[in-house]
Copies of this chain bind each other. A is one copy, B any other.
Amino acid sequence: MKIYSSAVAPNPRRVRIFVAEKGIQVPFEDVDITRAVNRQPQFRKDINPMGEVPVLELDDGTHIAESVAICRYFEELHPQPPLFGVGAVERAAVEMWNRRMEFHVLLPVAQVFRNTSEFFKGRIAQVPQYAEVCRAAAEKSYAWLDEELAGRRFIAGDQFTIADITALCGIDFGRVSKIRIQPGHKNLARWREEVSSRPSAKA
């Protein structure tokens, strides 16, 4: 078993933090995304047709792509500590919060990078005007999230979950594009300090 990863991209970091929180040892193999190895026909054919990392490779050669699919696989094999919630209602709520963090934090942040960075220049059709829409959306999400966190410790409630991992990876990646937690966002800053101080955050 191994995980195709990248040290510089936000999605592989989600899986690294998840695995660290579980205390599982899995080898990570770096794919050089700066040289677009993941976009080559060989990688698409053998590992992931979408040309993306992370990808989990099982010992029988099965490939599981998509960060949350990989995390869920490890949750099933190693249920402790639970990072997707416990019981039907809580698991639904964690899924809801994780998806909110994906669609309203990580996705707009990633779209700003995709549509403005030198990294993606010439690789994809960049639309800077759309980046500005996403920048405004991300900033609005941060303000909303700051209000949400006034009433609780973590994104989905009293427990650290995959929703915190997604939010942290999104917010940290946003700094590359100068999307930052504002001085007035006391709750969001308090949350970020706490989740960043966990050993897993260095993964």
Contacts and interface: CB of A to CB of B under 8 A. Distances in A.
A144 interface: yes
Interface stretch (A34-42, A66-74, A173-181, A184-192): A66-74
B104 A92 contact: no
Contacts of A56: 92
B58 A76 contact: no
Interface residues on A, range: 20 to 34
A104 B130 CA distance: 18
Contact of A62 (B68, B89, B130): B89
B144 A133 contact: no
A100 B62 contact: no
Contacts of A201: none
Nearest to A144: B49
B76 A91 contact: yes
Instruction: Kindly report how many copies of this chain are found in the complex they form together.
Output: 2
12 contacts: A50-B104, A56-B92, A64-B89, A66-B95, A66-B99, A69-B99, A72-B91, A72-B95, A73-B89, A127-B130, A129-B129, A129-B130
Secondary structure of the A side of the interface? helix
Contact of A93 (B64, B76, B136): B64
Which of A56, A96, A130: most chain B Cβ within 10 A? Answer: A96
Given A76-B91, A144-B49, A64 B127 contact: no
A18 to B, nearest CB: 13
Which of A56, A73, A130, A136: most chain B Cβ within 10 A? Answer: A130
Nearest to A100: B50
Contacts of A64: 89, 92-93, 96
B127 A96 contact: no
A65 interface: yes
Interface string A159-181: 00000000000000000000000
B125 A133 contact: yes
